[in-house]
């Protein structure tokens, strides 16, 4: 379970970075060279998602909960905006949904 969670966190960081770098170029006027590492980060994101041994749709659904929490952490640590109580509550709900998806009993 911890390995899966760590893989989800790495996947979320790759996706967020892959979107953040073009955002810096478009919104903040940074160098267009940021598009290259951004594209590589998004390719890493897709590859990391493929490492999960279960059905892709289930992986994407469960990953969403972790992504939300990592994005809130990014909001705080990178953007310098402290998440509100409502942000944290929403992240908790998303993680609960992820846990239901991941931990649900399955027939073989």
Residue 32 is encoded by which pair of tokens? Answer: 């267009």
Q: In whole angstroms, how far apart are CA 101 and each of 33, 74, 77, 106? A: 39, 24, 28, 10
Residue 108 has pLDDT above 70, yes or no: no
pLDDT bucket at 98, cuts 50 / 70 / 90: confident
Where are the chain's structural domains?
2-103
Q: In whole angstroms, how far apart are CA 33 and each of 1, 24, 26? A: 37, 11, 12
pTM of the model: 0.84
Q: How far apart are CA 32 and CA 23, in angstroms?
A: 10
Count of C-beta atoms within a 10 Å radius of residue 95:
16
pLDDT per residue over 56-80, tens digit each? 788 888 888 989 999 999 999 999 9
């Amino acid at each position: 379970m911890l390995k899966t969670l760590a893989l989800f966190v790495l996947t979320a960081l790759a996706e967020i970075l892959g979107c953040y770098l073009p955002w810096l170029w478009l919104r903040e006027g940074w160098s267009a060279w940021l598009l290259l590492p951004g594209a590589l980060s998004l390719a890493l994101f897709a590859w990391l998602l493929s490492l999960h041994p279960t059905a892709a749709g289930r992986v994407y659904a469960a990953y969403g909960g972790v992504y939300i929490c990592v994005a809130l952490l990014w909001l705080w640590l990178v953007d310098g905006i402290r998440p509100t109580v409502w942000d944290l509550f929403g992240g908790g709900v998303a993680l609960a949904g992820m846990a239901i998806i991941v931990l649900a009993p399955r027939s073989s």
